[in-house]
A and B are shown apart, each in its own frame.
Chain A
Amino acid sequence: MTRIPIPALFGLVFTGLFFAMAVLAPLIAPYGPAEIVGDVWEPASADHLMGTDNIGRDLLTRMIYGGRTTILVATLATVISFVTGACLGLFAAVIGGWVDQALSRFVDLMMSIPTLIFALVVLSVMPVTLPVLIVVMGLLDATRVYRLSRAVAVDITVMDFVEAARLRGEGRGWIVFREILPNALSPLVAEMGLRFIFMVLFVSTLSFLGLGVQPPAADWGGIVKENKDGIVYGIGAALWPAAAIATLAISVNLVADWVLGRTTSLKGGRG
């Protein structure tokens, strides 16, 4: 085990803290998520470390539960996006021919519409519930993962060991999951960090627009929406999610950079 560089350590610790917070939310939150405990927009005090929100709920509690929703949605959407995108991308590269052409051209078409606009169009007819939100976000983002995994896999499929596996008579499933996937893993893992951040930003944006997580459930984008009216009176309650999202995004970025650097240096020979 090599020593972990300071920025990566910082990233790991903070990412870990955020995930721990998400899992343990009911244990560490000082109040209930819907409990009204004080006046509207009280300033920070010993009882309410971040103050209270637009209807007098404890803001720290809302932030913890909100983080839980945001991280849960982003994680599940990333998983969907990776499973679909990577499977289709790897199979497209292995099968080639018209299957590859059809899939790739379809993905080009999907990517010619901005993701947010496409999501808005789809969400205008779908009921906005958490599962729908997660699936829509995951599938729209799968196009990016598809491109990357196909590009990586195309380079690997022409290698000798894949040829050898083919000649041995292995099936497509074996070639994709036992020959290509292990060799394509490191760029995919690094990309996973970036996609996760993108999902966090995406779900926050949708919730802010009122089309994501629906009240009374909280997420970071929703907290901004609820408290935005305070801004013009000089009340900064809506800015806490900014700090949370930025910290999470930067930590995950640092970890992803380190993972990418580490795995590529392993390939280079000297560890």
Chain B
Amino acid sequence: MNRIILRILAQRIALSLLLLLLVSVLIFAGTQILPGDVAASILGQSATPEALANLREELGLNAPAWQRYFDWLGGLLQGDLGRSLTNGRDIGEAIGQRLSNTLFLATTAAVIAVPLAIFLGLVSVLYRDRWPDKLISALSLAAVSVPEFLIGYILMFWVGVQLGWAPSVAILNDTMTFWERLHAITLPVAVLTMVVLAHMMRMTRAAILNVMQSPYIETAELKGLGTFAVIWRHALPNAISPVVNVVMLNLAYLVVGVVVVEVVFVYPGMGQFLVDHVSKRDVPVVQACGLIFASVYILLNMVADIVSILANPRLRHPK
């Protein structure tokens, strides 16, 4: 570690914190200042003016927007996510278990998808323009043309119902062991893997091919190394930074894919929670969930940048 790297890292982290703060403003503004009024949408069209006024008073909607924002932000910083409008429960408690379920699902998908994507990317570089490469790129075009919820139902229909290989809904309960849980989420993990695999693999392929054009690769080939050794020893280390970037972007994408996939497989996670409460117009829950998803997204993007800063030897060993 040296000073330059530390300074760049500190700048990058400060930038993410600033971004997070601005995102919280944006999410708050998006739900509060728009023409729709929370009280009006809870009560519906048949609301009497008195009922509306009472509810506004109860929800604290009469205070100016900036004051409500700072109350909300202050609560968040102390770990208080507020209370749900529909059932009055503490949001933090309701989210806790679901957040860990969602992270379990996303982590499992990532553990499978990332090595597989890098391996397939390497394979398609090795067999460039021959049938394995073409097959892989055709499959990835097909995978990005179908929305994830439909991939979910296709798998549920063929693998879950017709073949009966995996449970078609992913319901967890407290008594399940780790392996039972893993078995329950087979299909959602498969869908998430497919969704991010295609993009990750194509970008890995592109990044390695880009490095393969460099003169030092030609040198390595001319000194008689095998194709695999060239890729493994010479191309991959130099492609790490772009590949890590792609991986992180796709992990960030997983965060979004998870929302839809959870609804498909009735999985008790954050995504389903968010969607349920959007239909119920439960604004505090939507704000809290939206902010959590956005923070994970920003965090992953920050990690991607940090890794590529660390992977850059020019910064690690300054002259």
Residues of A within 8 A of B (CB): 109-110, 112-118, 120-127, 197, 201, 204-205, 208-211, 221, 224, 228, 231-234, 236, 238-239, 241-242, 245-246, 249-250, 253
Contacts and interface: CB of A to CB of B under 8 A. Distances in A.
A124 B146 CA distance: 26
B150 A242 contact: yes
A124 B277 contact: yes
Contacts, number: 146
A114 B256 contact: yes
9 contacts: A115-B256, A116-B260, A121-B287, A121-B290, A124-B31, A221-B149, A242-B146, A245-B146, A245-B147
Given A114-B256, A201-B147, A209-B275, A109 B22 contact: yes
A175 B252 CA distance: 39
Contacts of A232: 156, 160-161, 168-169
A112 B304 CA distance: 14
Contacts of B290: 113, 117-118, 120-121
Contact of A125 (B34, B141, B162): B34
Interface in B246-274: 252-253, 255-256, 259-260, 263-264, 274
Contacts of A120: 259, 274-275, 278, 286, 290
Across the A-B interface, the 3 shortest Cβ-Cβ residue pairs: A249-B145, A242-B150, A125-B36
Nearest to B275: A209
B153 A126 contact: no
B145 A224 contact: no
A138 B142 CA distance: 25
Given A122-B34, A209-B263, A245-B145, A117 B26 contact: no
Contacts of A114: 252-253, 255-256, 293-294, 297
Given A224-B153, A238-B153, A253-B141, A116 B259 contact: yes
B208 interface: no
B230 interface: no
The secondary-structure label for the interface of chain B is helix
Nearest to A121: B290
B26 A109 contact: yes
B157 interface: yes
Nearest to B28: A121
Nearest to A247: B145
Given A125-B36, A127-B36, A210-B279, A112 B301 contact: yes
Contacts of A224: 149-150, 153
B307 interface: no
B60 interface: no
Nearest to B281: A124
B4 interface: no
Interface residues of B, number: 55
A204 B162 CA distance: 25
The secondary-structure label for the interface of chain A is helix
B19 A112 contact: yes
B278 A124 contact: yes
Contacts of A204: 147, 149-150
Interface string B294-306: 1001100100000
Contacts of A122: 30-31, 34
B47 interface: no
A126 B31 CA distance: 9
B240 interface: no
Given A112-B297, A231-B168, A123 B278 contact: yes
Nearest to A249: B145
B122 interface: no
Between B142, B157, B260, B283, the greatest number of chain A beta carbons within 10 A of the residue's beta carbon is seen for B157
B23 interface: yes
Contact of A113 (B27, B141, B142, B162): B27
B10 interface: no
Nearest to A225: B149
A246 B145 contact: yes
